[in-house]
Amino acid sequence: MDLILEGIKKAFWLLFSFDPEVLGITFLSIKVSGSATLISLIIGISVGASVALTRFPGRRIVVSLINTGMALPPVVVGLFVTISLWRNGPLGFLGILYTPLAMIIAQAVIATPIVTGITLAAVQQLPTKLRLQILALGATRFQMLWILIKEAKLSLLAAVMAGFGGVISEVGASIMVGGNIKGYSRVLTTATVMETGRGNFDVAIALSIILLLLAYLINLLLTQIQQRERRR
Amino acid sequence: MNVMLPVFDVRNLLVSRGGSLILNVPSLTVSEGEIFVLIGPNGAGKSTLLQTLSALVKPSRGEVLFRGQRIGDEIPLLQYRRRLAMVLQEPLLFDTTVYNNVASGLKIRGLKRDGIEPIVTKALERFGIAHLRDRSARTLSGGEARRASIARALATNPEVLLLDEPFSALDPIMRETLLEDLEKVLRETRITTIFVTHDRMEAIRLATRLGVMNAGEILQTGSPDEVMNHPVNEFVASLVGVENLLQGRVAKKMDGSFIASVAGQDIEAMGPMETGDLVILCIRPENVTLSDIASGNTAGIRNTFPATVVRITPMGPYQKVQLNCGFPLVAYASNPSFSELSLKKGSEVLASFKAKRVHAIVGASRSVLTGAKSGGSSQQDTVG
Q: CB distance B94–A150 less than 8 Å? A: yes
The third-level CATH classification (topology) of the domain covering A2-231 is MetI-like fold (1.10.3720)
Segment A210-221 shows an average pLDDT of 90
| pLDDT, mean of residues B252-274 | 91
Q: Is the pLDDT of residue A229 over 80?
A: no
* Contacting residues of A for B161, CB less than 8 Å apart: none
> Would B8-234 and B243-363 be classified into the same CATH topology?
no
**A137: closest chain B residue by CA:** B105
B16-44: per-residue pLDDT in tens?
A: 988 899 999 999 999 999 999 999 999 89
Q: What is the mean pLDDT of chain A?
A: 92
Average pLDDT over residues B362-380: 42
A222 vs A227: CA distance, rounded Å:
9
pLDDT at B369: 36
Of B236, B234, B213, B235, whose CA–CA distance to B25 is shortest? B213
CB contact under 8 A, A136 and B104: no
Reported as a pLDDT band with limits 50, 70 and 90, residue B12 is very high
With a cut of 70, say whether residue B373 has pLDDT above it: no
Please name which of A141, A81, A145, A138 lies closest in space to residue A110, comparing C-alpha atoms: A81
What's the whole-number average pLDDT of chain B? 89
When scoring B52, B83, B108 by the number of chain A Cβ atoms within 10 A, the one with the most, hence best to mutate, is B108
For residue B383, pLDDT over 50 is answered with no
Q: What is the pLDDT of residue B298?
A: 61
CATH fold of B243-363 reads: OB fold (Dihydrolipoamide Acetyltransferase, E2P) (2.40.50)
Rounded to two decimals, the ipTM of the complex is: 0.83
Question: Which positions ≥6 away from A212 have C-beta within 8 Å?
Answer: none
- Please report, for residues A35, B47, B199, the alpha-carbon distance to residue B42 in angstroms, rounded to integers and kept in the order given: 52, 9, 11
Residue B82, pLDDT above cutoff 70: yes
Residue environment code for B158-189, b if the CB has 16+ CB neighbours within 10 A, otherwise e: bebbbbbbbbeebeeebbeebbebbeebbeee
Using CB atoms, pick whichever of B90, B105, B138 lies closest to residue A138. Answer: B105
C-alpha–C-alpha distance, residues B151 and B87, integer Å: 10
* pTM reported for the whole predicted model: 0.83
Alpha carbon distance B260, B254 (integer Å):
11
The fold of B8-234 is Rossmann fold (3.40.50)
Report CB contact under 8 Å: A137, B94: no
User: Which residue of chain B comes nearest to A138, CA vs CA?
Assistant: B82
Average pLDDT over residues A157-175: 93
Q: Check if B152 contacts A (Cβ < 8 Å).
A: yes
Write out pLDDT tens, residues A83-127. Answer: 999 999 999 999 999 999 999 999 999 999 999 999 999 999 999
Taking CA–CA distances from B106, the nearest residue in chain A reads A137
Given a cut of 70, is residue B3 above it in pLDDT? no
> How far is the alpha carbon of B94 from chain A, nearest alpha carbon, in Å?
7
Contact assignment for B86 to A136 by CB distance below 8 Å: yes
The residue of chain B nearest to residue A148, with distances taken between CA atoms, is B94
Measured between CA atoms, how close is A163 to chain B, in angstroms?
24
How does residue A232 score in pLDDT terms, banded at 50, 70 and 90? Answer: low
- Residue B11, chain A, CB below 8 Å: the answer is no
Please enumerate, as own/partner, the contacts of B168-174 that have beta carbons within 8 Å and a separation of 24 or more. Answer: B168/B89, B169/B142, B170/B142, B170/B143, B170/B146, B171/B142, B171/B143, B174/B142, B174/B143, B174/B146
**Secondary structure class of B290 (helix, strand, coil):** strand
d(CA A153, CA A162): 14
Instruction: Name which residue leads in pLDDT, A14 or A138.
Output: A138
The rounded distance, in Å, linking the Cα atoms of B237 and B6 is 28
Sequence spans of domains, chain B: 8-234, 243-363
Residue B271 clears pLDDT 90, i.e. is over it: no
Q: How far is CA B146 from CA B38, B70, B159, B333, in A?
A: 20, 32, 20, 35
* Domain parsing of chain A, residue ranges: 2-231
**pLDDT exceeds 90 at position B300:** no
